[in-house]
Amino acid sequence: MTDALVIGAGPAGLMAAEALAAAGRQVLVVEAKPSPARKFLMAGKSGLNITHAGPDFAAAYPEQAWLAPMLAEFGPQAVQDWCRDLGQAVFTGSSGRVFPVAMKASPLLRAWLSRLGANGVELRTRWCWDGFDGDAFAFETPAGRQALRPAVTVLALGGASWARLGSDAAWVPWLAARGVQISPFQPANMGFVIDWSAHMARHFGQPVKGAALCLSTGVRERGEFIVSSKGLEGGGIYAISRALRNGATLRLDLLPDQSVEAITARLAKARRGDTVAAKLRKLGLSAVAVALVQEWGRPLPDDLAPLLKALPVPLAGPRPMDEAISTAGGIAQAGLTEGLELRAFPRVFACGEMLDWEAPTGGYLLTACLATGLWAGRAAAKT
């Protein structure tokens, strides 16, 4: 009989496997894809933001105090030490974001898999969980259908975004049928749809820098975002995506370091024959920012200053969930013990994005995946 089974070879699953092996359990990790940690590798293509070293780390997980002991056990400093133990030096950027010096995820993953293998962890790829066969976990494998009855299981199957990388939420009906409490999935850290006019096409792919994103809730966020053919995306938008998804409206302050009065005075100095676009450029607005004013501000008022401080953004809803960086929803806290064991399914534990928590980008997502994986693995090892 299989001793300890981990289903899913992303960061949470591999961390659970590491904890189980460290406790002396014989660990089998199965992964549906041809290779492990595909979403982890994708996240590292533009620089692997592994954690965040800024102050008040726990504040990034609003309404999720139940994660606090896990994040205290394996928080930003522990993540950095873990990277160094794997031979991967890290550095902290000016924003507090922490990256491996190599920037990519692949060197860290290779070192991690090597250590897991040396500790006796077995990894089988192309093993796709296909529900249950009685009380056994059923899999479609290269050798045909297999059924396993492990002594203990850790589920690390991801959320509901980026299905092509493995996070497809196919597990939801199988666990729900066994009485596991699951909150509906919603997109998180996602872009938003804008119905652009044809005039905006030449600005697609351009960043908007220096603006403040102002929510109807009173939140004010400084951050860069991108104008794309689909709408708005990028870090500044992701940081407020939860509030926008929940109904907040958005306005842009395109000149956040200047008052309405100062802008009005500068506009009054414009030459008589200047076009509106010329006046706006003289204020220091980029071509794409000028285009946004003309796109969303018509009919343009005589007094442009108030519009530049509060340009309304006509969002048409979030982009599809499978395009989101992460998801909210999943296995509800009420359905879990303190050790992340499923109350409705003894000896089965869950971790990572399967759980109903939400965090912004900036290293918070990966840290919580690693921390919950470690927590679930340690709890499962004692079972």
Same domain, yes or no: 239 and 205 = yes
Alpha-carbon gap, residue 109 to 92, rounded angstroms: 20
Same domain, yes or no: 179 and 55 = yes
- Enumerate residues 6+ apart whose C-beta is below 8 A from 175: 182, 331, 342, 345
State the pLDDT at residue 55: 87
pLDDT grade, residue 44 (50/70/90)?
confident
The tens digit of pLDDT for each residue in 64-121 reads 999 999 999 999 999 999 999 999 999 999 999 999 999 999 999 999 999 999 999 9
Q: What is the pTM of this model?
A: 0.94
Average pLDDT in the 249-257 region? 98
Same domain, yes or no: 82 and 151 = yes
Same domain, yes or no: 8 and 110 = yes
Kindly state whether residue 321 falls inside one of the protein's structural domains.
no
Kindly state whether residue 330 falls inside one of the protein's structural domains.
yes
Same domain, yes or no: 337 and 246 = no
Over pLDDT 90: what percentage of the chain?
A: 95
State the pLDDT at residue 120: 98
Same domain, yes or no: 337 and 200 = no
Alpha-carbon gap, residue 194 to 225, rounded angstroms: 13
Domain boundary among 261, 289, 313: 313
**Domain membership of residue 370 as a residue range:** 4-187+326-381
Kindly state whether residue 96 falls inside one of the protein's structural domains.
yes
Kindly state whether residue 136 falls inside one of the protein's structural domains.
yes
State the pLDDT at residue 101: 97
